[in-house]
Structure 1
Amino acid sequence: MDKEFIVALQTPPLPYYWESGRSTFRAGDRHPNRRNFGLFDVLLVVDGELHIGENGTEWTLATGDALVLLPEGEHYSFRPCEQETTFYWVHFEHVDWHQGPLIEESEAAIPLSPFDKPKSIRIPKKTTLLNPQLAFDMMHQLVLLPVGESFWEKQQLLFRFLAILENGTSDMAKTPASRLAESVALFLQQNYQEEITNETLSSALHFHPSYIVRCMKMKYGVTPVQYLHQFRIERAKQLLVSTEWSIDRIATEIGFQYSPYFSTCFKRNVGISPLLFRKKYLN
């Protein structure tokens, strides 16, 4: 294939697990042909080679290769196995998805907010895992769970498996500027209770403040100070609905020196005061 493709799953809802298994084909065996299967089918090769086509595009999958087959269209074997081939497979359902070319982060649209929801899960169409044993072990756990039971364990293992695939795609698309922005975001999240300036970030991460600001605006659409401010507000929302702390205590906990200023900022961002927000979600 000339281009690398991703399958994007919009959330919510999250993907829904149906079934999984481990299959071994002898030389001469073929993967079954299907049309409009209705479920996503992810193949992960353990040993040998699997020759799979979908809607006119064909792949030869070797050890550590994973391929996502779509619920629509035709899946077929374009060549029988030439050697004994073992692979895992997992079927899952999702209603809001699309397939498209992998976009470099430098070409992607700037988000309206770094904390926007929903999220798009971006899974590579075909990928070679750098550490396939981790995925093998996960799939092994999945197929050992009894049929018709262990619903939550199966869902969690599916999510972890898709996360392994997604992380591979994310690394392919990242630029040095994007990686720096992620480091800045992590630093801000770990130190949000402290007073942080652009100079603080420059000293901690060893980059010029103006370059840090440019990287953050490219990746998240906001400056580091704006990111910190939004993160504090998100943290305040969590504390308002999960604790009985006073507004003053929450303001101090998230890094605001003055409670009235916190309330003003919260209302400007959320549209209602912290007290009304708490009443809205607790009543």
Structure 2
Amino acid sequence: MSDSPSFIYFAAPPLPYFLESGETLYEAGDRHPSRQHLGMFDWLIVESGCLHIGEEEAQWSLSGGQSLILLPDNYHYAIQSCTERTRFYWIHFQAVGEWLQSEQAHGTLDQESHAARFKTTPYSLTLRKQWTLPYPEQAYQLARKLNRSGGERQSNAFWSRQQTFEELLRIMDLRQNDLYASPVVTLAEKAETFLKAHYRSQVTSQMMTEALNFHYNYITRCMKQVYGMTPSEYLTAYRIEQAKLLLLKTEWPIAVVAEQVGYESAPYFTYSFSKKAGISPAKFRKQYMK
């Protein structure tokens, strides 16, 4: 069994999307096939028995109630044949956005490149690569539902499968599970919520310290670990994001836009916007006008 826990982070939206699923029953003596360059994630959820499988240098023996996510381009193989009847579900899925496997409990995705590509600050969906499921029966039920939907009309199956898959992602997301929620992530999310609620105001370190009941330096470390940005950097990025929306949706003067997103000085807003976006606010607006 691989000892060091690994985490897989997905920047969303867009969420990973479902491709296909199935259920496999191995008798004693059967073994999982070896594959490489599969080109998609392979999610295994074992219901009973024991599945012996490896990926590159790591190896696992998965018993009932355990899951494993194999990466798209890695080599995976059977360590040994099953010694007992083993039933498991498999789900193939893919991700359009950035993803990362890390041994760190707070892997940092590239927030800025995602925001530039998808026009929104990403949520970091956090899955354990290998996990003993806290609610295995719920995972089995969703896996069975995915398989049953294969018999529906394609127009129905497309939507029902994706919705079911997203529900499975939700219950597996560590950030949604209070039993596994990290204090670092929890504080970082509270800080993010505070910044989004007060971005129109002049936010200070003292304000954040008093509102969150933690020293500002600790808040900064937590946000840096989770979002890859300090509170000040996150606030600037969010203000610029909101400014872009106002530049596109309104005809307000640049000075008014600056004031609406928390800048007292229009010239400083223009400087910050240009530095962050690589173009001035006026030119940004103009490129979308006829």
| TM-score for the superposition, normalised by structure 2 | 0.71
Q: Give the deviation of 1:210 after TM superposition.
A: 4.1
Deviations 1:12-64 (A, max 9, x none): 997553211234x3753735423337243211123x22322225754332333
Work out whether 1:186 is the aligned partner of 2:193: yes
* Match in the other structure for 2:34: 34
* Match in the other structure for 2:69: 68
Mapped to 2, the partners of 1:157 and 1:62 lie a distance apart of: 24
Q: Give the deviation of 1:101 after TM superposition.
A: 5.5
Mapped to 2, the partners of 1:169 and 1:5 lie a distance apart of: 18
Q: Give the deviation of 1:233 after TM superposition.
A: 0.9
* Match in the other structure for 2:91: 90
Q: 1:261 to 1:152 in 2, by over 3 A?
A: farther
Q: 1:226 to 1:203 in 2, by over 3 A?
A: same
| Coordinate RMSD, CA, aligned | 4.2
Fraction of identical pairs, as percent: 32
Mapped to 2, the partners of 1:264 and 1:226 lie a distance apart of: 15
Q: Give the deviation of 1:218 after TM superposition.
A: 5.3
**Residue among 75, 82, 90 paired with 1:80:** 82
Which amino acid is 2:60 matched to? W
Deviations 1:132-186 (A, max 9, x none): 3443444344223346444355445445544554537999998645543332122
**Residue among 239, 259, 263 paired with 2:270:** 263
**What is the aligned residue count?**
275
* Match in the other structure for 1:20: 21
Query: Higher mean Cα deviation, 193-202 or 261-270?
Result: 261-270
Q: Tell me if the contact between 2:29 and 2:81 (Cα under 8 Å) persists in the aligned partners.
A: no
1:1-283 matched pairs, under 5 angstroms: 1-6=2-7, 15=16, 17-23=18-24, 25=25, 28=28, 30-36=30-36, 38=38, 39-46=40-47, 48-54=48-54, 57-71=58-72, 72-76=74-78, 78-80=80-82, 82-83=84-85, 85-93=86-94, 102-105=103-106, 115-117=112-114, 123-146=127-150, 148-149=154-155, 150-155=157-162, 157-159=164-166, 161-162=168-169, 164-165=171-172, 167=174, 176-177=183-184, 179-217=186-224, 219-220=226-227, 222-241=229-248, 243-247=249-253, 250-257=257-264, 259=266, 261-281=268-288
Q: Tell me if the contact between 1:33 and 1:77 (Cα under 8 Å) persists in the aligned partners.
A: no
Q: 1:64 to 1:279 in 2, by over 3 A?
A: farther
Structure 2 gaps of 5+ residues are none
Q: Give the deviation of 1:205 after TM superposition.
A: 1.0
Which amino acid is 1:254 matched to? V
Structure 1 gaps of 5+ residues are none
Q: 1:135 to 1:49 in 2, by over 3 A?
A: same
Q: Give the deviation of 1:90 after TM superposition.
A: 0.7
Q: 1:182 to 1:279 in 2, by over 3 A?
A: same
Mapped to 2, the partners of 1:51 and 1:79 lie a distance apart of: 8
Mapped to 1, the partners of 2:263 and 2:44 lie a distance apart of: 50
Paired residue secondary structure (2:287) = helix
